[in-house]
Structure 1
Amino acid sequence: MITRLARLCGFGAEAVETFARNGLLRPVPPADLARMVEAFRHFHVTPATGVAMAAARWPDRPAILDEDGSLTFAELDARVVALARALYDRFGVRPGRTVAIMWPNHRGFVEAVAAVSRLGADLLLLNTGLAGPRLRDILRRENVHTLIAAPELPPVDFTGTRTGDLDELIASATAAATFAATSATSATASAAASEPPAPRRPGRLVLLTSGTTGAPKGATRRLSLTALAEPFTSMLATVPLRSGEPILIAPPLFHGLGLLWYGVALVLGCPVVLTRRFDPGTVLRALDRHRATAMVAVPVMLRRLLAHDVQPLPHLRVVVSGGSALPPDLATAFMDAYGDVLYNLYGSTEVGWATLATPADLRAAPDTIGRPTRGTTVVIAGPDGRELPPYEVGRVLVGGGLTFSGYSGGGDDASTKASTKAGAEAGGLLSTGDLGHRDGRGRLFIDGREDDMIVSGGENVFPQEVENFLGRHPGVADVAVLGVPDEEYGQRLAAYVVREPGARLSADELKQAVKAELGGYKVPRDIEFVPAVPRNQTGKVDRRELGGTMSS
């Protein structure tokens, strides 16, 4: 299987060298190899395949390390089979039906995802923070047949909503949530269970966009070995992960970043350390206790770790940041504290991962997102779709095997159609919605969002540049800079700043600093000091909540 992956990469020698260095090319007994091939034949490129193949190759190796203890790959696979059988028999989960999963970072999530994908059903991953009308709308829009939710997360108040097409969902949701909570965590689930029928084709994977400016949309994917080969191998060639070494995944697994790195851990046979909620002290203790060599986190988590007591972590070789923009000051401060172990991954729910910045890149240019991974095309395009020369700012367009196949559940709104049209005009590349540029060494930089750039008094201004500058200013703990309407200038910048404890910053001080460094037309007209900048679970600024907070 690994050899086939190397051939598909189109650069076999480099792939073989990479897999050997990462520990994937060790001999596999013929019987185990046969089981791995059989798993791939039945379940294709899905979480079910990853679990089954890992169980065949490393049955006694820890797969999950969470609050409930340790679970080996063989135990995990047995529990997945038992849960899949029960979902098939008791809840009628079949190919063509959509199952939603709402579970925090815990073995229950891993088991449910693998069980559903083993049945060939479509898989919708839900944000554990969703509730009320927003959640009900998503369940209806995505035509969810069965909802599996963690027992501590009553996902929706069904009182008074037993009408129309939610009737079947309500009945199955209550039962499935209770069943999954007991079956997926019971000791008897590891007993041998008969296999449900293997699906003829894999189900779709539907990830929700972050929804920081509007309703979350479902982005769908069907992955293939061919599509994954080059970017996966390119990533492994750059990031020094090794088979069998523990990796702590802090971002939610329902988000693309967390799910991506769980998939990487499965392929490498790495034990995955999970915590239901992010707590700096808990994470640092877990990294030390399990001797984890890698961690995945979003920038706000890195900042919280730095604010905690910095402690030696001699085993930590890799820290991958993603999910939202990595502030340059944070990149430098984190590497000063924990060494040159930081990698910055750029991508989105729609485009998958697109670029990767190494520690050397971040030392040379802390605000870079790095370079495209092999198998991915990144173009900085002008209004006519043609590629721009270095240092000119344009739209960031991405193409490759990891881009999504469209929005589910009727998500073809005006913005979706505009983005698709822009991508088609640029030779099939997909617009990320970001504006960026390249430098003379080929490194990529993000200047802001297309819909964030403002024209103030005839000048183009990118809030991200001002936000990055203010983030480096002494006494600033956090900051968000947005464009807001202005009667005189058309638009203006507004900055929302969180002071560090004990700092005595003034708005005039910050304005003078921006004027001296960036220019007078980039000075925020409004600077408001706030207790906190509202962010979602991946660290992105929640603009709707921020606007509501500031206006109240």
Structure 2
Amino acid sequence: MRWELDWLDNRARLSPEKDAIIDEKTNQAWTFKEVNERAKSVASWLQARGVKKGNRVALLSPNHISYFDLLFACGKIGAILVPLNWRLSEHEIRGILLDCSPVLIGIHHEFETIYEQLTNLCPNSFLIGDASYEAISSYPNRDNFLEDIVETDPWAMIYTGGTTGKPKGVVLSQQSILWNAINTIISWSLTADDVTVNYLPMFHTGGINALSIPILMIGGTVVIGEQFTEHKVVETINRYRCTIILLVPTMYHLLIQTDDFQGSDFPSMKIFLSGAAPCPLQIYEAFQKKGLAFKEGYGLTEAGPNNFYISPEDAQIKPGSVGKPMMFNSIKLVRTDGQVTENNEVGELLLKGKHAFSFYWNNEQATQETLVEGWIHTGDLAKRDKEGFYYIVGRKKDMIITGGENVYPLEIEHWLSEHPDIDEVAVLGLPDEKWGEIVAAFIVLKDSSIVGEDELRSYCEAKLGRYKIPKRFIRLDELPKTHVGKIDKKKLREMSTTV
């Protein structure tokens, strides 16, 4: 393996005794030297089991040290790690396994109930999280991995959420993971003093690539978070003196309502980051009231997932902006005719850089549609102000065309979420014979709140054009969420016919 690709080996040489990873549940810590030795042991064990360059190794586990063991081990021998979304149904997981055909699968003992069913598809399996796995992580290592590995070789394959159809296997090369980390470290000014706790699922690019890999590369510390609770996170941040954290808006929505949040000054924290979905403006306001730095970013499995930078100062002045392109990636917004947009004109967001994915596994058509002349067509709509700051408007497929007018749901969601009686809101277009589509708002009211549709329409009239005002307000007890906490609009669309 080329020395510049095995950066963990180099980091272990530079910072051998520095804590790299800590398990929140057990408080066990591993230094960079220990993490690297574990990776070498697991790599040797994989090779002894017949795993070769290009083979897929699947993992079904909650957040656990095994994600790092197997990722770094696969990197050393040229295998491809496929982390599996344990929140999917057994049927969906089986579909992914049939698609990627792993030669080996690790299954955490928490999922023993489906162990036998899954091992029918992949007989070569092993358990995670028990004494037998600890034997694997201390397997005698040969430390002489001779594979000829180059930057373009696949390293990981992360399956998309599948909210718009069948999940696609996003192939990430050594290069894409390496350059996302380098770009993030430089653009965000990460240092070896940074500490984060990771509550995002590690089968997701946000859990692996957004902060974990960049912070480890620079020599910082990653705390493996157990199950997120809005009360526990405050104690954990302060206990481990975290400096930076990435959560999704749903998590922040719960966090800012707690007494724990109101009662803590978070003395070690430099910045709170939000990702995975556009962030409601009241979350910005909650952090601003406490004098805490807060901002949001934008990314996707196919690119990074880090693409923009905004300073905390600019984030206060321009709430809702994801900032400007980072150091080593390019951004452009295009109209439907392919021409670049003017300032404040909405267009599709295209991304380009060495952090881009390589291709979709077994899906050449989707690859050709998404990756065009090096540009990733994200399907997301955005605009750029005259100072060069970007704002995500919403998904291209979510744009509502009602009576010939374009409506962007995020604008309406931001305004409705400011209503004192509304806890959560999602807006989408529903088919209509007269208008083509109508604007519909799915809302969850705060406890004991009572508000009528006429009052909500009057509230919308204060800020929104008449064609943007929802023609239907649908009340729910809660909004359905995807496995990473995004509001599931596909499920809402299905529900709209029954409510």
Q: 1:110-121 alignment to 2 at 5 Å?
A: 110-121=68-79
| Cα deviation, residue 433, structure 1 | 0.4
Identity %: 29
Give the distance between the partners of 1:315 and 1:199, measured in 2 at CA.
Answer: 43
Q: Distance in 2 between matches of 1:50 and 1:302?
A: 33
Report 1:52-201 matches (<5 A). 52-66=9-23, 67-68=25-26, 69-89=28-48, 91-154=49-112, 156=114, 158-159=116-117, 162=120, 166=121, 169=122, 171-173=123-125, 176-177=126-127, 181-185=130-134, 189-190=137-138, 193-195=141-143, 197-201=145-149
Structure 1 residue 314, shift from structure 2 partner: 0.6
1:247 match: 196
Matches of 1:216 and 1:330, distance apart in 2: 31
Q: Given the alignment of the two structures, is residue 480 of structure 1 paired with residue 439 of structure 2, yes or no?
A: no
- Following superposition, the deviation at residue 155 of structure 1 comes to 7.8
Alpha-carbon distance change, 244 to 391 in structure 1, aligned in 2, over 3 angstroms = closer
Q: 1:473 to 1:155 in 2, by over 3 A?
A: farther
Q: For the structure 1 residues 280 and 442, does the alpha-carbon distance in structure 2 shift closer, same or farther, using more than 3 Å as the test?
A: same
**Distance in 2 separating the partners of 1:527 and 1:516:** 17
Q: Match of 1:347, SS?
A: coil
Q: 1:41 to 1:419 in 2, by over 3 A?
A: closer
Q: String of CA shifts for 1:253-300, please: whole Å, max 9, x gaps.
A: 221122121111111211211122111222211111111112121221
CA drift of 1:306 comes to 0.8
CA distance in 2, matches of 1:155, 1:375: 45
1:258 to 203, 207, 227: 207
Tell me, which stretches of 5 or more residues in structure 1 are unaligned? 1-39
Whether the 8 Å CA contact 1:123–1:203 is kept in 2: the answer is no
CA distance in 1, matches of 2:134, 2:418: 46
Whole-angstrom distance in 1 between the partners of 2:71 and 2:329: 27
In 1, Cα distance between the equivalents of 2:104 and 2:124? 6
In structure 1, the residue corresponding to 2:200 is in which secondary structure? coil
One-letter code aligned to 2:62: P
Q: Where does residue 435 of structure 2 map in the other structure?
A: 489
CA contact (8 A) 1:125 1:207 kept: yes
Instruction: Decide whether aligned partners of structure 1 residues 106 and 492 sit closer, same or farther in structure 2, where only a CA change above 3 A counts.
Output: same
| Residue identity in the other structure for 1:296 | L
**CA–CA distance in 2 between the matches of 1:532 and 1:283?**
22
Q: Indicate yes or no: 2:305 matched with 1:348.
A: no
SS state at 1:41 partner: coil
User: Which residue matches 1:271?
Assistant: 221
Task: State the partner residue of 1:513.
Answer: 459
Q: Which residue of 2 aligns with 1:3?
A: none
Shift of 1:332: 2.6
Q: Distance in 1 between matches of 2:362 and 2:314?
A: 40
Note if contact 1:78-1:192 (Cα within 8 Å) is conserved in structure 2. Answer: no
SS in 2 for 1:95: coil
CA distances 1:147-176 after superposition (whole Å, capped 9, x unpaired): 1122112484655995xxx3xx1x113xx2
Q: Residue 314 of structure 2 aligns to a residue in which SS?
A: helix
Change (3 A) 1:433 1:103: same
Match of 2:52, SS state, is coil
Aligned equivalents of 2:124, 2:362: Cα separation in 1: 20
Counterpart of 1:264 in 2: which secondary structure? helix
Give the secondary structure class of the aligned counterpart of 1:401: coil
SS of the residue corresponding to residue 273 of structure 1 reads: strand
Equivalent residues of 1:50, 1:263 under 8 A apart: no
Shift of 1:551: 4.1
For normalisation by structure 1, the TM-score amounts to 0.82
Q: 2-side partners of 1:107 and 1:214: how far apart? A: 31
* TM-score (norm: length of structure 2): 0.91
Partners of 1:97 and 1:439 in 2: how far apart? Answer: 46
8 Å contact 1:76–1:190 — kept in the other structure? no
Distance in 2, Cα, partners of 1:64 & 1:228 = 19
Measure, in 2, the Cα distance between the counterparts of 1:280 and 1:160: 33
Distance in 2 (CA, whole Å) between partners of 1:61 and 1:161 is: 38
Distance of aligned partners of 1:238 and 1:418 in 2 relative to their CA distance in 1, 3 Å threshold: closer
Matched with 1:14 is none
Task: Pick one of 293, 298, 306 that aligns with 2:256.
Answer: 306
The residue aligned with 1:410 is 363
CA deviation vs aligned residue, 1:309-338 (integer Å, no higher than 9, x gap): 21221111122221222222222323323x
Any conservation in 2 of the 1:253–1:262 contact (CA below 8 Å)? no
- Cα gap change, 1:356/1:456 in structure 2, threshold over 3 Å: closer, same or farther? same
Question: Could you tell me whether the CA contact under 8 Å between 1:183 and 1:189 is conserved in 2?
Answer: no
**Judging changes above 3 Å, is the alpha-carbon distance between structure 1 residues 272 and 135 closer, same or farther for their aligned structure 2 residues?**
same
Deviation digits for residues 215-247 of structure 1, max 9, x if unmatched? 21111121339x955x65554455353214322
SS in 1 for 2:71: helix
> What residue is the counterpart of 1:419 in the other structure?
370
Q: Give the secondary-structure state (helix, strand or coil) at the position aligned to 2:170.
A: strand
TM superposition shift of 1:92: 1.6
Over residues 62-105 of structure 1, what are the superposed CA-to-partner deviations in whole Å (9 max), with x where a residue is unaligned? Answer: 1211122222222222222222222221x321112111122222
Aligned CA RMSD, in angstroms, stands at: 2.4
Q: How many residue pairs align between the two structures?
A: 488
- Distance in 2 (alpha carbons) for counterparts of 1:228 and 1:51: 11
**2:396 pairs with 421, 436, 450, which one?**
450
Cα distance change, pair 55–331 in 1 and its aligned pair in 2 (3 A): same
Residue 373 of structure 1 corresponds to 326
Partner of 1:400: 353
Of 53-62 and 151-160, more deviation after overlay is shown by: 151-160
Q: Distance in 1 between matches of 2:189 and 2:482?
A: 29
Higher relative helix content: 1
| Partner Cα separation in structure 2 for residue 480 and residue 350 of structure 1 | 25
Measure how far apart 1:106 and its partner are.
2.0
> Counterparts of 1:185 and 1:95 in 2: how far apart (Å)?
24
Q: Distance in 2 between matches of 1:482 and 1:242?
A: 41
Could you tell me how far 1:305 is from its partner in structure 2?
Answer: 1.4
Q: Distance in 2 between matches of 1:132 and 1:280?
A: 29
What's 2:339 paired with?
386
Find the aligned partners of 1:326 and 1:265 in 2 and give their Cα distance: 24
Structure 1 residues 281 and 321, CA gap change in structure 2 (3 angstroms):
same
**Contact 2:45 / 2:139 at 8 angstroms: preserved in 1?**
no
In the alignment, residue 249 of structure 1 is paired with which amino acid?
N
Amino acid corresponding to residue 105 of structure 2 in structure 1 = L
